[in-house]
Amino acid sequence: MSGWDEIVAGMVKAVQLILAGDPTLIQIASLSIAVSGTATLLGALIGIPAGAIISLKEFRGKSLVVQVVNTLTGLPPVVVGLILYLFLSSSGPLGFLRLLYTPQAMMLAQLLMIVPITASITISSVSSVDPDVREAAASLGATPLSEGLIVLNEARLGLLTSVVVGFGSAISEVGAIMMVGGNLLGYTRALTTAIVLLTNQGEFAEAIALGIVLLFLAFLVNTLLTLLRNRFAGASPYAASILTGTSAPRDP
Amino acid sequence: MPLLEMINLSKTYGAETVVKHIDLRLDRGKILALMGPNGSGKTTLLRLAALLTNPTEGKIIFDGTDTECSEDKRRALRRRMSVVFQEPALFNMSVEDNISVGLSVRGVNERGIRARVSEVLTQMELVDLRRRRARTLSGGEAQRVSVARALATKPELLLLDEPTASSDPRNASIIERVVTESNADTGMTVLIATHNPHQARRLASETAFLFEGEIVETGSTSKLLESPEDGRTAAYVSGKMA
């Protein structure tokens, strides 16, 4: 078959698998979403506050820290996978956790890759907030925490972008999760690692089918996050109360 | 005892001293205009008064308290004043949320916030704009919101930096009316930076003329505008200085 035939066959196969509700496909796709979703969530919980603190605080060596974070966004997945493998292997410092070849190890690998990305975009977004806005918050008597939350609220589109980019990076990652997950069918096989395996076996149509499913899932999640981002682009009537922990004024 | 006192105040940025040995006293309940051309140091002096920056030299005393103190104490002092910047610097939220921020950070309860926001919206003729996103307002409307946000906390000292520079006559007149009323009704002390002698005359009982970082002349606004003692003040007031 030519390349085009493989692609067309892959598309047909993808539709068939989806329509048939293929249990293996569902299991693989579910694992991908669960691992990448958890890694994205944890990545946001760590990366956004870390990026915000780096951006808002003045400290010695700040530009070096920013440079390091930005450099880490380009971490090669196989390097992350290798280091994590060495840490999690039975003779490694974290071997006692027995996480190697588990979905948790895959999540950890993705987390290590997402945190710098989320932090870097957060640093950039927070830094681009108008300094006058921050000064206005200070002039209103805001505590450093409220001031930070007001600035984060101003940078909210950038923060949501960091989550979208983080998820995109996680769901499409293959090298690291292959190394620490092991690609075990029914346990640690994700969409990307399955595609690699099928390609190696010459099962191009199935590989393309999974690729299309992967793209579809990424599109779906990104659409949801983009809708959320657009929703946040508008002013929330409760924005001030969310920021400051009190209730917002409503119509008398 | 004055509400605000600046003693031998100087501020240097790099090699440039933008505020030089200022001595200024603002009594409670007064409106004082800081008048001067662009670049004369008005904004820096207001930022110093607002405790948003530290002087390079000299002291600021607010209501008898030396403001060179811990950040917590400075914040407590800052909560007794409000600033309106030349650019409105509104938050990306609705008009009423913007106005409520100062109250929220002070821990005012929902009922209190609602009541005060409603009062200020009415005072500033902003009721129809309450739900609008602040960033969609015109320059003049945004500045009215900025004034409303500053007044919501009932400050003892209101610091205004060219508050009507981007406003049309209607918006400017609302801002001036509310500032005058608030001063008359509540005894709120006001320090306003303006390049406009007419605005100084309309609002302030006293005016200080600032030129190249120094206070050249201080006195009652009418005297300073009608019979200035310093040649530079005279040149500025008569429109012969840029």
The tally of CA atoms less than 13 A away on the side-chain side of residue A87 is 12
Least confident of A70-84, A109-123, A214-228, B119-133: A214-228
pLDDT of residue A225: 78
For chain A, the average pLDDT equals 88
pLDDT digits (tens, 9 = 90+) for A178-206: 999 999 999 999 999 999 999 999 888 88
Give the 3-state secondary structure of A150-196.
HHHHHCHHHHHHHHHHHHHHHHCCCHHHHHHHCCCCCCCCCHHHHHH
In a domain, B60, yes or no: yes
The tally of CA atoms less than 13 A away on the side-chain side of residue A191 is 26
pLDDT of residue B242: 62
Contact criterion met (CB below 8 Å) for A133 and B89: yes
pLDDT digits (tens, 9 = 90+) for A64-91: 999 999 999 999 999 999 999 999 999 9
Say how many residues make up chain A. 252
Report residue B42's pLDDT band, with 50, 70 and 90 as the boundaries: very high
Mean pLDDT, rounded, for B85-105: 94
Helix, strand, coil percent values for chain B (each to nearest 5): 40, 25, 35
Angle between the A204-233 and A191-200 helix axes, to the nearest 10 degrees?
160
Q: Chain B contacts of A239, Cβ < 8 Å?
A: 91, 93-94, 97
CATH code of the domain covering residue B50: 3.40.50.300
Edge-to-edge strands of the sheet including B214-220? B81-84, B157-161, B189-194, B31-35, B206-211, B214-220
User: B81-116 burial, b for 16+ CB within 10 Å, e for fewer?
Assistant: bbbbbbbbbbbbbbbbbbbbbbbbbbebebeebbeb
pLDDT of residue A6: 80
Rounded percentage of chain A residues whose pLDDT exceeds 70: 91
Mean pLDDT, rounded, for A13-24: 85
**Residue for token pair 């972008």:** A161
pLDDT of residue A250: 35
Report residue A48's pLDDT band, with 50, 70 and 90 as the boundaries: very high
Rounded percentage of chain B residues whose pLDDT exceeds 90: 96
Residues contacting residue B100 through CB under 8 Å, at least 6 positions apart: A240, A241, A248, A249, B113, B117, B152
Mean pLDDT, rounded, for B17-23: 96
pLDDT higher than threshold 90 for residue B77: yes
What is the rounded CA–CA span in Å between residue B82 and residue B125?
A: 20
In a domain, B76, yes or no: yes
* Domain around B219: 4-237
The verdict on a CB contact (< 8 Å) between A239 and B97 is: yes
Report residue A5's pLDDT band, with 50, 70 and 90 as the boundaries: confident
The verdict on a CB contact (< 8 Å) between A135 and B89 is: yes
Q: Chain B contacts of A248, Cβ < 8 Å?
A: 96-97, 100, 110, 113
The verdict on a CB contact (< 8 Å) between A136 and B91 is: yes
pLDDT of residue A233: 64
Sign of CA dihedral B96, A247, A163, A11: negative
CATH superfamily of the domain spanning A3-232: MetI-like (1.10.3720.10)
What is the 8-class DSSP label of residue B133?
B
ipTM attached to this prediction? 0.89
Mean pLDDT, rounded, for A173-177: 94
Mean pLDDT, rounded, for B196-210: 96
pLDDT higher than threshold 90 for residue A248: no
What is the rounded CA–CA span in Å between residue A162 and residue A156?
A: 10
pLDDT higher than threshold 60 for residue B140: yes
Angle between the A23-56 and A103-127 helix axes, to the nearest 10 degrees?
40
Mean pLDDT, rounded, for B18-23: 96
pLDDT digits (tens, 9 = 90+) for B151-194: 999 999 999 999 998 889 999 999 999 999 999 999 999 999 99
Between residues 113 and 132 of chain A, which touch chain B (CB distance below 8 Å)? 130, 132
The domain total for chain B is 1
Q: Chain B contacts of A153, Cβ < 8 Å?
A: 91-93
pLDDT higher than threshold 80 for residue B234: yes
pLDDT of residue A176: 95
**Residue for token pair 């999540």:** A107
Q: Chain A contacts of B82, Cβ < 8 Å?
A: 139-140
What is the rounded CA–CA span in Å between residue A92 and residue A85?
A: 8
What's the token pair of residue A180?
Answer: 């620490």
In a domain, B242, yes or no: no
Mean pLDDT, rounded, for B95-114: 95
pLDDT of residue A209: 86
What is the rounded CA–CA span in Å between residue B45 and residue B83?
A: 12
Rounded percentage of chain A residues whose pLDDT exceeds 90: 70
Cβ-based contacts under 8 A for chains A and B:
110
pLDDT digits (tens, 9 = 90+) for A195-243: 999 999 988 888 888 998 899 888 888 788 778 877 766 544 344 444 4
pLDDT of residue B84: 97
Contact criterion met (CB below 8 Å) for B221 and B206: yes
Domain boundaries, chain A: 3-232
What is the rounded CA–CA span in Å between residue A60 and residue A79?
A: 29
Using a CB–CB cutoff of 8 Å, tell me whether A237 touches chain B: yes
Contact criterion met (CB below 8 Å) for A110 and A42: no
Question: Distance from A158 to chain B by nearest Cα, in Å?
Answer: 14
In a domain, B186, yes or no: yes
Q: Chain A contacts of B85, Cβ < 8 Å?
A: 132, 135-136, 139
Report residue A1's pLDDT band, with 50, 70 and 90 as the boundaries: low
**Which residues make beta-bridge pairs with A66?**
none
Using a CB–CB cutoff of 8 Å, tell me whether B149 touches chain A: yes
**Residue for token pair 């140091």:** B41
